[in-house]
Amino acid sequence: MSDSLQPQFAEVLTLIKAAQQKVIATANQELIKLYWSVGKYISDRLATSEWGQKAIDCYICFRWGIWTPLL
């Protein structure tokens, strides 16, 4: 490789890594929002007695494909 190209390639690599970091940060922000929303949704259902404590166990089964409504 030509020595004159190394700085240019390093600059391209720096641009790629910076973009990757932005993607990771954005994805993490969205996951935090999602987890907060899910937690609030579940908490609201439990607080209004729409769901009982067994609802969480049923959700876990549902999530993993072993739906058992009469847990």
Residue 40 tokens, joined: 């609030």
d(CA 68, CA 71): 6
d(CA 11, CA 31): 30
* Residue 64 pLDDT greater than 90, yes or no: no
Chain-centroid distance of CA 62 in Å reads 19
* Residue 55 pLDDT greater than 90, yes or no: no
Model pLDDT for residues 41-51, shown as the tens digit of each residue? 999 998 988 88
d(CA 51, CA 59): 11
Model pLDDT for residues 2-25, shown as the tens digit of each residue? 788 999 999 999 999 999 999 999
Mean pLDDT for all residues in the chain: 89
* Residue 38 pLDDT greater than 60, yes or no: yes
